[in-house]
Amino acid sequence: MSRLSYVEDKIVDLDTLILRREIWRLKGDQVVFTNGCFDILHKGHVTYLAKAAEEGSRLIIGLNTDQSVREQGKGSERPINDQDARALVLASLGFVDAVVFFNHQTPLDLIKSIQPDILVKGADYDPDEMDPKSPKYIVGSDVVKKYGGKVKAIQLVDGFSTTSILKKARD
Protein backbone atom coordinates (compact mmCIF):
# COMPACT_ATOMS: atom_id res chain seq x y z
CA MET A 1 0.00 0.00 0.00
CA SER A 2 1.39 3.41 -0.92
CA ARG A 3 1.76 6.05 1.76
CA LEU A 4 -0.94 8.16 0.13
CA SER A 5 -3.31 5.17 0.02
CA TYR A 6 -2.60 4.57 3.72
CA VAL A 7 -3.61 8.16 4.50
CA GLU A 8 -6.68 8.05 2.24
CA ASP A 9 -7.79 4.80 3.90
CA LYS A 10 -8.28 6.73 7.16
CA ILE A 11 -11.04 8.83 5.54
CA VAL A 12 -14.13 6.68 5.92
CA ASP A 13 -17.89 6.71 5.72
CA LEU A 14 -19.97 6.03 8.81
CA ASP A 15 -20.65 2.36 8.01
CA THR A 16 -16.94 1.62 7.59
CA LEU A 17 -16.14 3.54 10.76
CA ILE A 18 -18.69 1.57 12.78
CA LEU A 19 -17.06 -1.69 11.62
CA ARG A 20 -13.61 -0.40 12.54
CA ARG A 21 -14.96 0.82 15.87
CA GLU A 22 -16.23 -2.68 16.65
CA ILE A 23 -12.85 -4.22 15.82
CA TRP A 24 -11.12 -1.66 18.04
CA ARG A 25 -13.62 -2.38 20.82
CA LEU A 26 -12.92 -6.12 20.60
CA LYS A 27 -9.19 -5.37 20.89
CA GLY A 28 -9.85 -3.32 24.02
CA ASP A 29 -8.82 -0.03 22.39
CA GLN A 30 -10.11 3.16 24.00
CA VAL A 31 -11.66 5.30 21.25
CA VAL A 32 -11.41 9.08 21.50
CA PHE A 33 -13.69 11.33 19.45
CA THR A 34 -13.44 15.01 18.69
CA ASN A 35 -14.86 17.18 15.97
CA GLY A 36 -14.42 20.45 14.18
CA CYS A 37 -13.89 22.31 10.92
CA PHE A 38 -10.07 22.29 10.98
CA ASP A 39 -10.07 24.69 8.04
CA ILE A 40 -6.45 25.86 8.04
CA LEU A 41 -4.49 23.37 10.10
CA HIS A 42 -2.14 25.17 12.49
CA LYS A 43 -0.04 24.59 15.62
CA GLY A 44 -3.07 24.97 17.87
CA HIS A 45 -4.98 22.27 16.00
CA VAL A 46 -2.06 19.84 15.91
CA THR A 47 -1.28 20.32 19.61
CA TYR A 48 -4.95 19.87 20.55
CA LEU A 49 -5.36 16.75 18.39
CA ALA A 50 -2.13 15.18 19.68
CA LYS A 51 -3.28 15.71 23.26
CA ALA A 52 -6.70 14.28 22.39
CA ALA A 53 -5.05 11.19 20.90
CA GLU A 54 -3.09 10.68 24.13
CA GLU A 55 -6.38 10.22 26.00
CA GLY A 56 -6.96 6.79 24.41
CA SER A 57 -5.78 4.25 21.86
CA ARG A 58 -7.58 5.49 18.75
CA LEU A 59 -8.54 8.99 17.59
CA ILE A 60 -11.56 9.62 15.41
CA ILE A 61 -12.18 13.09 14.02
CA GLY A 62 -15.68 14.13 13.01
CA LEU A 63 -15.12 16.71 10.26
CA ASN A 64 -17.73 19.30 9.33
CA THR A 65 -18.67 19.17 5.66
CA ASP A 66 -18.32 22.36 3.63
CA GLN A 67 -22.07 22.91 3.90
CA SER A 68 -22.10 22.60 7.69
CA VAL A 69 -19.14 25.02 7.97
CA ARG A 70 -21.04 27.61 5.90
CA GLU A 71 -24.11 27.14 8.10
CA GLN A 72 -22.07 27.96 11.22
CA GLY A 73 -21.75 31.59 10.15
CA LYS A 74 -17.94 31.67 10.19
CA GLY A 75 -17.95 34.04 7.22
CA SER A 76 -18.69 33.88 3.52
CA GLU A 77 -15.10 32.91 2.67
CA ARG A 78 -15.18 29.82 4.88
CA PRO A 79 -14.22 27.12 4.53
CA ILE A 80 -10.96 28.15 2.86
CA ASN A 81 -10.09 24.53 2.10
CA ASP A 82 -12.77 22.13 0.92
CA GLN A 83 -13.74 19.10 2.97
CA ASP A 84 -11.67 16.64 0.94
CA ALA A 85 -8.51 18.74 1.37
CA ARG A 86 -9.16 19.21 5.09
CA ALA A 87 -9.78 15.47 5.57
CA LEU A 88 -6.59 14.48 3.75
CA VAL A 89 -4.44 16.83 5.83
CA LEU A 90 -5.99 15.54 9.09
CA ALA A 91 -5.66 11.90 8.01
CA SER A 92 -1.97 12.47 7.30
CA LEU A 93 -1.31 13.03 11.00
CA GLY A 94 0.15 9.83 12.42
CA PHE A 95 -1.96 9.90 15.58
CA VAL A 96 -5.27 10.16 13.68
CA ASP A 97 -6.95 6.80 13.08
CA ALA A 98 -10.09 7.88 11.21
CA VAL A 99 -11.75 10.94 9.74
CA VAL A 100 -15.48 10.91 9.06
CA PHE A 101 -17.64 13.72 7.66
CA PHE A 102 -20.82 14.99 9.25
CA ASN A 103 -23.26 17.33 7.56
CA HIS A 104 -25.22 18.65 10.53
CA GLN A 105 -24.77 21.60 12.85
CA THR A 106 -23.57 19.21 15.55
CA PRO A 107 -21.98 15.74 15.60
CA LEU A 108 -24.66 14.33 17.92
CA ASP A 109 -25.87 11.60 15.53
CA LEU A 110 -22.27 10.64 14.82
CA ILE A 111 -21.48 10.38 18.54
CA LYS A 112 -24.57 8.20 19.08
CA SER A 113 -23.47 5.88 16.25
CA ILE A 114 -19.79 5.62 17.19
CA GLN A 115 -20.20 5.57 20.98
CA PRO A 116 -16.68 6.78 21.76
CA ASP A 117 -15.13 5.90 25.10
CA ILE A 118 -13.86 9.45 25.46
CA LEU A 119 -15.35 12.64 24.01
CA VAL A 120 -12.90 15.54 23.82
CA LYS A 121 -13.26 19.26 23.14
CA GLY A 122 -11.12 22.31 23.81
CA ALA A 123 -10.97 23.98 27.21
CA ASP A 124 -13.32 26.69 25.98
CA TYR A 125 -15.97 24.03 26.66
CA ASP A 126 -16.89 22.53 30.05
CA PRO A 127 -17.35 18.74 30.46
CA ASP A 128 -19.63 19.36 33.46
CA GLU A 129 -21.97 21.81 31.69
CA MET A 130 -25.35 20.12 31.22
CA ASP A 131 -27.35 22.99 29.68
CA PRO A 132 -27.42 22.46 25.90
CA LYS A 133 -28.08 26.19 25.44
CA SER A 134 -24.82 27.15 27.15
CA PRO A 135 -21.91 28.00 24.82
CA LYS A 136 -19.73 25.82 27.09
CA TYR A 137 -21.90 22.70 26.60
CA ILE A 138 -20.21 19.80 24.82
CA VAL A 139 -22.66 18.28 22.36
CA GLY A 140 -23.10 14.58 23.07
CA SER A 141 -21.62 14.73 26.56
CA ASP A 142 -24.84 13.50 28.12
CA VAL A 143 -24.98 10.56 25.68
CA VAL A 144 -21.38 9.53 26.35
CA LYS A 145 -21.75 9.82 30.11
CA LYS A 146 -24.95 7.71 30.06
CA TYR A 147 -23.12 4.64 28.80
CA GLY A 148 -20.12 5.19 31.09
CA GLY A 149 -17.84 7.11 28.74
CA LYS A 150 -15.72 10.09 29.74
CA VAL A 151 -15.86 13.70 28.59
CA LYS A 152 -12.71 15.82 28.74
CA ALA A 153 -11.56 19.32 27.88
CA ILE A 154 -8.06 19.97 26.60
CA GLN A 155 -6.17 23.21 27.06
CA LEU A 156 -5.82 25.18 23.83
CA VAL A 157 -2.67 26.90 22.57
CA ASP A 158 -3.03 30.65 23.03
CA GLY A 159 -2.64 32.83 19.96
CA PHE A 160 -3.58 30.25 17.34
CA SER A 161 -6.90 30.22 15.53
CA THR A 162 -7.97 30.10 11.90
CA THR A 163 -9.74 33.43 12.37
CA SER A 164 -6.54 35.10 13.63
CA ILE A 165 -4.50 33.58 10.78
CA LEU A 166 -6.99 34.92 8.22
CA LYS A 167 -6.95 38.36 9.88
CA LYS A 168 -3.15 38.42 9.83
CA ALA A 169 -3.11 37.44 6.14
CA ARG A 170 -5.48 40.32 5.30
CA ASP A 171 -3.48 42.93 7.22
**pLDDT per residue as tens, the chain (171 positions):** 899 999 999 999 999 999 999 999 999 999 999 999 998 888 999 999 999 999 999 999 999 999 999 988 777 788 999 999 999 999 999 999 999 999 999 999 999 999 999 999 999 999 999 999 999 999 999 999 999 999 999 998 776 666 666 676 677
Let me know if 14 is exposed, middle or buried by CB neighbors in 10 A (0-12, 13-18, 19+). Answer: middle
Domains and CATH numbers, the chain: 3-170 (3.40.50.620)
Query: Could you tell me the pTM of the whole model?
Result: 0.93
Q: How many C-beta atoms surround the C-beta of residue 31 within 10 A?
A: 23
Contact criterion met (CB below 8 Å) for 49 and 58 = no
- Which pLDDT score, from 0 to 100, does residue 74 have? 74
